[in-house]
Every structure is written in C-alpha cells, then in structure tokens.
Structure 1
Amino acid sequence: MENRIPPRTEAVEKLENYITSNHLPPNTKIPSERDLCEMWGINRTTLRFAVDMLVESGQLYRKKGSGTYIAESKLVRNLLGVNSLSTEVRQLGLPFSTHILSLRVIECTKQVSKKLHIPLGQNVYECIRVRSIEGVPCIMETMYLDQNQCPDLEKYYHDKSSIYSIFENIYKKTLVAGEEKISVTYVSEEEAALLDLEEGEPVFFATGVTTMADGVPLEYYKQLFRADRFKFVSMIKRRMS
C-alpha cells in the first residue's frame, strides 16, 4: 500500500520548496492564499496550516492588512558552545560591532555576590553594551566582573576591543566553561529604543556565568536577544563507546 504524504505536510513542503526554488530574498511578499491554492490545487484551510507552520518556525512573518513575507534568516546560537558571541558571528562573515553604553565600578548586590562567589558589597565592574550585526542592534547585555580579577579594565576595554582577548592577553585568564539559562521576556520602553523594537515585543532573555579553568567565576551576564534575529539550539554529538 502506497504511503501518501498527508495534505498538510505536503502543503508545507510545497511552500518551502517555492521559497527555495525561487530564491526569494528576505522581506519579499509571497503570493496570496487564493493564488497559492489555485497554483497547487489545495484548499484554503490546508494552505493556511502550512503558512502558520512557517510563521511559527520563523521562516515567514505576517503584516496586518498587507500579507505574508519571507523572514530574515536567524543566527543560530549554540547553547553548548563556549566561543564568544563575536567569534561565532564573525565566523559567518557578518559585520559585528559593540557600543558600550556604560562601564563603571559598583558595589555588588546579593545576586551578583552569589553568582561570582565574592563577598556582598565588594567592588565589581558593571558593563552595559549593545551589540549590532550588519548595523542592526540585536543584543543588549549587562555584564558583571570581579574588579579584583581584572583591575583597571577601563584602561583596556572600549568599543573596538574584545573583552575575551583582554581576559586572555592582559589578565592571563581563559574562560573555559559556563552555565546559561534561556527564557522569554518583553522589552521595556528603554530597551526597545536601544534594540530598535516596539515596547512590549518579546525577546530571548539569557543569563549565565562563565568560569575559568580553576572553576572560579569571572563573568556574570544578562542578555536580551532580538527574537527575529536569533534562534537557540543545542548541538549534540553522539559519543562513540
């Protein structure tokens, strides 16, 4: 007995193939539901399911009162990776830049004290920065560093330098491991302005700690990622026994 592909699955495949075979660039409007139904001889309900699936997966997006469009390709952030974000983006050949909004010394809060394993009230660097890819602000990050581990950081760190290179070359410290948690939140008015979004739009919220070879935490961070620019995955490799 021949195994027939379910109509909804076939519609998804047809739509994906239409986008690929026609080399449609991002932000291109796809034909109307009526035109696609006539083209493929399927009903409106089946086609709408296919469109909904590709919208949900981030391949398409809708504009109210306008139609459905091809979405920008999303950058893949490997949850199991230890490379810096700038390294991962530049490996893809994409322009990447950092703008430091503030870099100051503050007394650590209870939360920062717990994350960095240092006494409450000890001095830490608080660095707030916005990171752009291809000129588009995509990540807002707040980073906390133990001042004792990286004294005089303000002398070395600026928009054109790499914080990880400073760790390794100036302070002789290498980040080798970490723990990161991902959730979803909604941007405030201030965050929206910095990320070129509308207030209340959903974004990925990442928080984590990176540690050195001796297990001592060096960095505690909180990051907002534009959901239209990133997706998070876990790259898993089979271990051979």
Structure 2
Amino acid sequence: MTDIERRGGLAIWRQIARDLEGQVADGTLPPGGQLPTEAALAQRYGVNRHTVRRAVADLEDRAIVTVAQGRGTFVCTDLIDYRLSRRTRFSENIRRNKQTPGGKLLAAATVSADRAVAERLAIPVGASVQRLDSLRTADNVPINLSHQHFPGDRFPGLAEAVERHGAITPALAEFGVGDYTRRETRLSARPASRREARLLQLAEGAPVLVTENLNVDLDGRPIEFSQTLYAADRVQLTVEP
C-alpha cells in the first residue's frame, strides 16, 4: 500500500492524484497506458472508491488521463501532428512523430456502390466496389478507424494484397498504381458511436474528427474514396497546401 498522510493538511484525494501524476511523469504509467481499476487503487491507497474517483476526476480535468466508459482509465498521449497534404500517408505521419505505425484489417467485402460512393469514384451506381475497414495504431494506441472504397473492377483481390503487405500503398503498387495523390479532403466532427468508441478505446460519445478523402492516380482517375475517424484527443490535423 502506498503511504498516505491522513493527518496532514492535504486532502487524501489530492495526495492520490499527486502520486498518480508522479507515476505518469516518471514513466511508470506510460502514455496510452491503463491505470489500475478503481477497486485496485482503493486497495492500494487504503481508501474508498469515492476518494479514488475524485482523484481520477481531477487528473481527467487536467488532461492527464482520459476515462473510456466501460474500458478503463488511460494516460493521455501527446497529440500527433497528422499532416493532410497531396501525399498523405499514415505510416509516414506516424514515423514523423517518432512512433511506430501499426494496424489491422477489420473487414473486407465486395459491395455495390451507392450513389455517394459512385459519384466520388466516377463509376456507375451499383458497380462493384472493394470496401476495406481498418484500425490503425501508433505505438499500439488506436489512432484512426477508416472505411475505404476502391473500384472493384480495377482492384480485384485488393484485401489479400493489403494483408500481404500490411499497408495500402504497396498493395496498390501490385495493381500498377505506383503513386497517388489526394484530390480532396473534407473535415467535420461528431460523437463516436458505441462501436467506434470501443475500437478507438474512447468513451462512448467522445468526439472524433472525421475526414472524407478522395485519392486519384497520376492520370487523375479516382482510385479511393474513404471516411476516416480520428480520436480527437490524440490527433491534431494539419492541412498543408
């Protein structure tokens, strides 16, 4: 049990908050790391849960931790400076911030293009589309959730190529797309749904930044229309001309 001064002038919950803050500062609780449960902290400090809850609320108010409802309490990470430019690449953005990019393909399916997707990809409504849903991380911390659409007749078997390479850019190279650029990005924000919050390890209803993106090949032909959701407390989007 960590020693708490019970007859001093400093409230017990403040002592707990100060101790936890010190653990964050010295790296005992690393960025993105999860704090012990309320019950475990209460036992450690020899106090009731209400006292622990007040200490954690103080840390949350000062943006030292974030509470994800149903998942736990996590140490806040430094904001990633994520650049949106003509050649936006996730791995490059993460490595620029001296972190290790990662992620996984959550789902892949061949679907029919609805009107919105068809217009952006310049294909007929109902045409075949490869849809990929992916979760991407930085140092194993979830950063964004993306829903990507590619013309199906041009990229058959794209999901398998992504699985082989672990990234979109080298997978597209298998289909003769050696380079591509961003034609358009639209920005908005909204609350996360329950599923989105679970995948991004956020509290349900926490804000997410949303980008709608259109990428084209070097001949100007649309190759990808996507919607990407970013954890707003982990990323700042920088738009470059």
Task: Map residues 177-192 of structure 1 onto 2, 5 A cutoff.
Answer: 177-192=182-197
How far did residue 214 of structure 1 move? 1.2
Structure 1 residue matching 2:147: 3-state secondary structure: strand
Instruction: Give the RMSD, CA atoms, in angstroms.
Output: 2.5
| Alignment coverage as a number of residue pairs | 181
Q: For 1:72, which of 77, 83, 90 is the aligned residue?
A: 77
User: Are residue 83 (structure 1) and residue 88 (structure 2) matched?
Assistant: yes
Identify unmatched segments of 5+ residues in structure 2: 1-24, 31-54, 65-75
Separation in 2, partners of 1:235, 1:124 = 30
User: Are residue 121 (structure 1) and residue 126 (structure 2) matched?
Assistant: yes
How far did residue 131 of structure 1 move? 0.7
Separation in 2, partners of 1:120, 1:173 = 27
Aligned amino acid, residue 161 of structure 1: G
Structure 2 residue matching 1:148: 3-state secondary structure: coil
Aligned to 1:14: none
1:140–1:92 Cα change, 3 Å: same
> Which stretch of structure 1 is more off in the superposition, 165-174 or 140-149?
165-174
Separation in 2, partners of 1:92, 1:68 = 23
1:233–1:25 Cα change, 3 Å: farther
1:172–1:203 Cα change, 3 Å: closer
Determine what percentage of the aligned residue pairs are the same residue. Answer: 21
Separation in 1, partners of 2:118, 2:101 = 31
TM-score, normalisation: structure 2: 0.68
1:205–1:167 Cα change, 3 Å: same
How far did residue 220 of structure 1 move? 0.3
Aligned amino acid, residue 64 of structure 1: A
Separation in 2, partners of 1:178, 1:119 = 20
User: Are residue 153 (structure 1) and residue 146 (structure 2) matched?
Assistant: no
Aligned amino acid, residue 202 of structure 2: L
Task: Map residues 98-117 of structure 1 onto 2, 5 A cutoff.
Answer: 98-117=103-122
Aligned amino acid, residue 119 of structure 1: P
Separation in 2, partners of 1:81, 1:172 = 16
How far did residue 143 of structure 1 move? 0.2
1:69–1:218 Cα change, 3 Å: closer
How far did residue 79 of structure 1 move? 2.6
1:69–1:190 Cα change, 3 Å: closer
Aligned amino acid, residue 171 of structure 1: G
Identify unmatched segments of 5+ residues in structure 1: 1-23, 29-61, 237-241
User: Are residue 133 (structure 1) and residue 126 (structure 2) matched?
Assistant: no
How far did residue 158 of structure 1 move? 1.1
How far did residue 144 of structure 1 move? 0.2
Aligned amino acid, residue 138 of structure 1: I
How far did residue 160 of structure 1 move? 5.1
| 1:202-228 deviation digits (Å, cap 9, x = unpaired) | 110111101111111000000110011
Aligned amino acid, residue 234 of structure 1: V
Separation in 2, partners of 1:204, 1:159 = 29
